[in-house]
Amino acid sequence: GTVDPEEWAGAPVISDFTARNPVEGAEPSQRTEVRVLYSPTHLYIAFSCLDTEPDDIVYRVSTRDSWMLQSDKVQIDIDPYHDHRNSYHFIVGVANNQVDSYGMDINWDGVWESATSMTDEGWFVEISLPFSILRFEAKESHTFGINFGRTIQRTKEDLLWTSWGRNDSFRIDRY
C-alpha cells in the first residue's frame, strides 16, 4: 500500500481524471495517479490519491461489501471480454475496506488483495487481482475494457478516467 517508485518503475502513469460530480467535466481538486502492471497470473494496480489537505481525508471502517457511502475510495471497473455487457467492480476505501461485484450481482465475492497507507501527501492503494477471478480464457493476448475512479468525500467529487454524463446510467460502453 505504499506505491514504491522502484516497484512501479516502467508503469505508465494515468492522471487525466475528470469530475462527474459535483460539477460535470470540471478539473479535479486533487491529483490522482494510477499505475498498472501485470504478470502471467495477476493484474496489479496502484492508486496515488494525492491530497493537499491529508488531515481532511474521510474514512470509515466497515465490513466487506459495505458501500462506504461516507468515505474516500477508489474504484476499478473491468470489462474482461470488452463486449460492453458486464463488468467487474472493485472498490477500496482508505481503511482498506473492500467492495466487489460482477455486473449487478453485489453478492459476487472474488478473492483479491489490497493494501492502503496514508502520508502527509495523501493516501495510497495497491491492488492485486488474479486473472482467474476475471474468468479470462487461456490465449496469447486479451483486450479488455478498464476504468478507474476516485471519490473525494469532503468535496463530494466523483472522478473518472473515462467519464460520462451524470444523467447517463452506468456506461460500460465507454471503456
Overall pTM surpassing 0.75 (yes/no): yes
Please say whether the beta carbons of 73 and 90 come within 8 A.
no
pLDDT single digits (tens) 123-135? 999 999 999 998 8
List, run by run, the mean pLDDT of 10-residue segments along the chain (175 residues): 88 94 92 95 96 93 71 93 86 94 87 96 97 79 89 95 66 56
Distances (CA, A) of 101 to 52, 163, 170: 32, 20, 14
